[in-house]
Chain A
Amino acid sequence: MLFNSLQFLIFFMVVTLAYFQLPNQRARVWLLLVASCYFYMSFVPKYLLILGGTIVIDYFAGFLIAKHEGRARKAWLTLSIIANVGVLVYFKYFDFLLDSVAPVIGQFFPHYTIPYLSVLLPIGLSFHTFQAMSYTIEVYRGKQPPEKDFTVYALYVMFYPQLVAGPIERPQNILPQLHQYQPYNWDKIKEGLARMLWGFFKKVVIADRLAIEVGHAYNHTGLSALSLWVGAIFYSFQIYCDFSGYSDIALGSAKVMGIDLMENFKQPYLSANITDFWTRWHVSLSSWFRDYLYIPLGGNRKGEVRRKANVFITFLLSGLWHGANFTFIFWGALHGLLVTLLPGDKNKVSSGVTKVVKIVLNFVLVSICWVFFRSPDVHFAFRYIGGLFNFIHGSTTFGLNGNELLFSAALMAFLLWREFRLKSFLIQQDRSFALYVLAMVTACYFFGVFGENQFIYFQF
């Protein structure tokens, strides 16, 4: 079920209203669990069995890890991680691995048919697998007691607002909230709804409009540098509005029910350097990699060379996490190199103009890296990046007409202004809130681009 669909709007209304009619938390947990199952099954029903299987494994693994000490404790954690990563590798990376070794196999066994799985990737697999692993790791570290209530644990993994594209939550944040009865709070409801509407606006009005221009730039050959730059810059905003729009809807819909999810974006395109960018972009994933990979690898505790190696490995795996394609590995590696090689200047305070220049340069750098993310293969990405700097050849055409290009630029400026100036979504006065709802619904309807466009991050 896509957030930007009628089915979701009706589903959300029914679930939220029923949620506030239920007298106790136990009933609410059951309601949310059933609703989350329905939400997940609306993509591919049978994949609920896979999700259910890993939930059962991790639930019992939590107890076994907590019960044992020493090597047995580690063994249970390892077993749980193998089960989770195994499912991920099987569905997401198996065909990619086969594809990578196929040329070698073909040389030695020319008549051998490669046994590709060709199965559809369960939606959001990378997200809920990582969320499940954060539970068992936290139990292993002794920072989280094992959850006794199976339904609460299942809901921790399956909570529908963040099930298929995050934020990737930590048990310490969510589990206590799922045990606590959240009273009806009109301010939280208003805040949640306002945030959801802003998320819808970013998705249907901005991201899906920019997608038309981006599609044009990436589907046509022989374009000029100008057309390709417009495509690259629009894609930076498209992916931001698409993914952060999803996160806004997720955080907003949870907030309506009184549940606070972690922030996933902190105005990443206002970063002055690439290290800063990664403290603001997809925060729940970057902090996951920091806590469960970078620090266990040694972090910055074993010298500068080792630190840089750890950073690079972390970014490489972060790229691979996004998808089974060399484009994502390149994208991750590129960011790894940039973070390790470029100065972070964390403590330097830049003046106004210098800061703006740094922000612009950093944005351009990030936009060039996104070319790998958007391209179907690495060769295409290199060709596209080459085109960005070929100022002599190519035809200048666009997927949007002049009016819509200007309108898109205005929307991007409005986005930056709105998120920079107005940090809160709570509108105290009911009349102002009603006007805001009316304005956003009208804007989404009249300026929205509709056509069942899936969120980009659903594929991961």
Chain B
Amino acid sequence: MKKVLSYSCIIIGLVLLISGTHRDIVAYIWERKHHHLWWGEHQSNFGDLSNIAYLDDIKIFQTPNDYQFTPPADTAGPKNVDLYVFGDSYIEDVPCYAFAHVNACRTGRKDQHDLIYQLDKAKRNVLLIETAERYVRSNYGTSDIYSHIKKDALPVTRAKIMSQSPVFASMDLGLHIGDFFNPNINQNLEYLLFNVNAMNEPRLLKADMNYYLFNRGSGDVIIADDGQHLFLKETVEPKSDYSSYQPFSDEDAAKWINNLNAIYDHYRGEGFDEVYFAIVPNPVSVIQPANYNNLIPKLQNAPGLKMHVIDVYSHYKKAGNARQFYRAGDTHWNNNGIQVWLELVNEELGKVSVR
């Protein structure tokens, strides 16, 4: 009996280690669980940070998605803009009809699907690049953006796979040494073993205990100093490249401006009539700005920057209480926040359409 038990445990352990390290197996299980086809997982509708930190019970952080999109009220003027939008999760819900003066629009999203453009010379072609502030350093420090916003169409098969399995970008039948030493194995194992309904109660209990006794979130989530908002830890930790508190020197700014200018020149050369850049501030940058590194103003106000910017940062600052633009239990903005952004974008599109 002991022998049978031993061998069973060895086999189960090996299966777990292999499953946790093999990208395709994890992708398959992720897909199944995500669609609730197997044994479920923790899903909170109150916000991604509430969800990660298991703080669903805490009322202050219960902020459901409240986006409401309508066609812009002021539609006077031609609808002659072909709009190409490349962004991230901040604008993934924005429908094309929310943009003014748009004849057609296409979207692309970093790490999910590329933005493919075919310019119509009879139209005003506008490229709008949106990014969350925390990704500015990692995504716009190099020019790899060219591989994500490009003219030629991708082969259908790859595009299809990418859209089905966003986390694990491509499948490869060849075995590489890295396949056996997946750096994400612990996250994968945790997902495989513990992201099940049965484990939710103890997790919620632990999260509540940490919150009420120690006023702390989970490892990845930090509670704001005033206790009213959740922040992603990596946007607060000064050592992280995603952080609003990591020093951003004038030399750093000059380097990034060079990159942004190169991106601008590239797409203007490709035939775009205008290229816009929109940085969405990390919530912590405007809600808890005492040690803010001023990344956004340093980039946006630089005299040498060629790109036109959609400056929501200044609007949020001017408005006073920046909390009104973000969901308390989420990394993202709320309907107020996104509407300010849309108004600014539509204002710019109006100018382009009559140029």
Interface residues of chain A, those whose CB is within 8 Å of chain B, are 2, 5-7, 10-11, 13-14, 17-18, 20-21, 41-42, 45-46, 212, 219, 400-401, 403-404, 407, 445-446, 449-452
Interface residues of chain B, those whose CB is within 8 Å of chain A, are 3, 6-7, 9-10, 13-14, 16-17, 20, 177-178, 180-181, 185-186, 189-190, 193, 202, 205-206, 209, 213-216, 218-220, 233, 238
Report the Cα distance A42→B238, complex, angstroms.
28
Our pick among B186, B215, B218 for the contact of A7 (Cβ within 8 Å) is B186
Most B-side CB within 10 Å, residue of A6, A46, A445: A6
Report the Cα distance A6→B219, complex, angstroms.
16
Q: How far, in Å, is A40 (CB) from chain B's closest CB?
A: 10
- Secondary structure type dominating chain A contacts: helix
Cross-chain contact B16 with A5 (CB below 8 angstroms): no
Task: Provide a sorted-by-A list of 30 A–B residue pairs whose CB atoms are within 8 angstroms.
Answer: A2-B186, A6-B20, A6-B190, A7-B20, A7-B185, A10-B16, A11-B13, A11-B17, A14-B13, A14-B14, A14-B17, A17-B13, A18-B10, A21-B3, A21-B6, A21-B7, A41-B181, A42-B181, A45-B178, A45-B180, A46-B177, A212-B216, A401-B214, A401-B216, A407-B213, A407-B214, A446-B202, A446-B206, A452-B186, A452-B219
Give the residues in chain B near A14, CB-CB below 8 Å. 9-10, 13-14, 17
Cross-chain contact B9 with A13 (CB below 8 angstroms): yes
Q: How far, in Å, is A224 (CB) from chain B's closest CB?
A: 18
Cross-chain contact B17 with A7 (CB below 8 angstroms): yes
Our pick among B177, B181, B214, B220 for the contact of A451 (Cβ within 8 Å) is B220
Q: How far, in Å, is A289 (CB) from chain B's closest CB?
A: 32
Our pick among B6, B193, B219 for the contact of A17 (Cβ within 8 Å) is B6
Q: How many A-B residue pairs have CB under 8 A?
A: 72
* Nearest 9 Cβ contacts at the A-B interface: A451-B219, A14-B13, A404-B214, A6-B189, A17-B6, A401-B215, A5-B186, A10-B13, A17-B10
Cross-chain contact B16 with A403 (CB below 8 angstroms): no
Cross-chain contact A45 with B189 (CB below 8 angstroms): no
Report the Cα distance A41→B205, complex, angstroms.
37
Our pick among B9, B181, B216, B219 for the contact of A45 (Cβ within 8 Å) is B181
Q: How far, in Å, is A11 (CB) from chain B's closest CB?
A: 7
Q: How far, in Å, is A185 (CB) from chain B's closest CB?
A: 15
Give the residues in chain B near A451, CB-CB below 8 Å. 219-220, 233
Give the residues in chain B near A404, CB-CB below 8 Å. 213-214, 216
Give the residues in chain A near B177, CB-CB below 8 Å. 45-46
Known contacts A7-B17, A451-B233, A452-B186; 12 additional CB pairs below 8 A are A6-B20, A6-B190, A10-B17, A10-B189, A13-B13, A45-B178, A46-B177, A404-B213, A445-B202, A449-B219, A450-B218, A451-B219
Known: A446-B209, A450-B219. A17 touches B186 (CB 8 A): no
Our pick among A7, A17, A219 for the contact of B189 (Cβ within 8 Å) is A7
Give the residues in chain A near B216, CB-CB below 8 Å. 212, 401, 404
Report the Cα distance A193→B215, complex, angstroms.
33
Give the residues in chain A near B215, CB-CB below 8 Å. 401
Q: How far, in Å, is A443 (CB) from chain B's closest CB?
A: 12
Give the residues in chain A near B233, CB-CB below 8 Å. 451
Q: How far, in Å, is B149 (CB) from chain A's closest CB?
A: 31
Most B-side CB within 10 Å, residue of A14, A212, A401, A449: A14
Most A-side CB within 10 Å, residue of B13, B205, B213, B219: B13
Give the residues in chain B near A7, CB-CB below 8 Å. 17, 20, 185-186, 189
Residue in B closest to A21 when the chains form the complex, CB atoms: B6
Give the residues in chain B near A18, CB-CB below 8 Å. 10
Q: How far, in Å, is B72 (CB) from chain A's closest CB?
A: 44
Residue in B closest to A404 when the chains form the complex, CB atoms: B214
Report the Cα distance A401→B190, complex, angstroms.
29
Q: How far, in Å, is B100 (CB) from chain A's closest CB?
A: 44
Most A-side CB within 10 Å, residue of B16, B205, B209: B16
Report the Cα distance A219→B233, complex, angstroms.
15
Give the residues in chain A near B238, CB-CB below 8 Å. 219
Give the residues in chain B near A449, CB-CB below 8 Å. 219
Q: How far, in Å, is A165 (CB) from chain B's closest CB?
A: 18
Cross-chain contact A20 with B6 (CB below 8 angstroms): yes
Report the Cα distance A89→B7, complex, angstroms.
45
Give the residues in chain A near B6, CB-CB below 8 Å. 17, 20-21
Give the residues in chain A near B193, CB-CB below 8 Å. 6
Known: A7-B186, A17-B10. A403 touches B214 (CB 8 A): yes
Most B-side CB within 10 Å, residue of A10, A17, A445, A450: A10
Known: A400-B214, A404-B214, A452-B186. A17 touches B220 (CB 8 A): no
Give the residues in chain A near B205, CB-CB below 8 Å. 446
Report the Cα distance A2→B183, complex, angstroms.
11
Report the Cα distance A377→B9, complex, angstroms.
48
Residue in B closest to A13 when the chains form the complex, CB atoms: B13
Report the Cα distance A447→B69, complex, angstroms.
44
Report the Cα distance A452→B184, complex, angstroms.
11
Q: How far, in Å, is B5 (CB) from chain A's closest CB?
A: 9
Our pick among B3, B10, B185, B206 for the contact of A445 (Cβ within 8 Å) is B206
Q: How far, in Å, is B257 (CB) from chain A's closest CB?
A: 24
